[in-house]
Amino acid sequence: MKKILFGLLALVFAEIAVFIVIGNAIGVFYTLLLIIFTSIAGLLIAKKRGTKSIQDIQKSMQQGQPPAVPVIETFMIFVGGVLLAVPGFITDILGILFVSGITRNLFKPVIFYYLRKKMKRGQVVILQK
């Protein structure tokens, strides 16, 4: 819990520093416009990709396949959309990485490794009907 709190606090300070640097470089008005534009564009992209990934989950379930990969992708797109909605340049970059298909494929093995590790410890349980 302390790590998360420290990480969030560090992120806030880093975002403020980036705001100051970019505000000095291009001006306050254009900095605010850029933040608003990236938030709106990011949310629209996340909505479009999120809808497709939900359809992929439904399709794999109809075919009788486990929807593990589409669920992970949907989760990553959701997290990316939230990061894009939060004002800030660092969170926008992270959000774009999560929403983009190329970089999402790089993160998937890390997430699967983390989930397998949690499952072995008994911290994550999957229920079947």
Does some domain include residue 42? yes
Burial of 111 (0-12, 13-18, 19+ CB in 10 A): middle
Name the band, by pLDDT with cuts 50, 70 and 90, for residue 18.
Answer: very high
101, 89, 112: which is closest to 35 by C-alpha?
Answer: 89
Q: Percent of the chain having pLDDT more than 90? A: 24
- Is residue 63 one of the residues assigned to a domain? yes
**H/E element holding 82?**
helix 68-85
Average pLDDT for the chain = 85
73 within domain boundaries = yes
Q: In angstroms, rounded to a whole number, what is the distance separating the alpha carbons of residues 47 and 39?
A: 12
Determine the angle formed by the axes of helices 101-121 and 68-85, rounding to 10 degrees. Answer: 110
pLDDT above 90 (res 43)? no
Query: Quick one: what percent of the chain has pLDDT higher than 70?
Result: 95
* Weakest mean pLDDT among 10-19, 31-40, 43-52: 43-52
pLDDT in tens, 57-101: 888 888 887 777 888 888 888 888 888 888 889 999 998 888 887
Give the span between the Cα atoms of 17 and 122, in whole angstroms: 41
Q: Return the closest-CA partner of residue 108 out of 81, 75, 61, 84.
A: 75
Number of folded domains that form the chain? 1
pLDDT at 126: 60
pLDDT: is 99 or 18 the higher one?
18
Question: Tell me, what's the pLDDT at 6?
Answer: 93
In a domain, 72, yes or no: yes
**Quick one: pLDDT band at residue 49, thresholds 50, 70, 90?**
confident
- Looking at the domain assignment, is residue 60 inside a domain? yes
> Does some domain include residue 19?
no
What is the domain range of residue 96?
34-121
Domain for residue 107, yes or no? yes
Burial environment of residue 15 by CB neighbours within 10 A (0 to 12, 13 to 18, 19 or more): middle
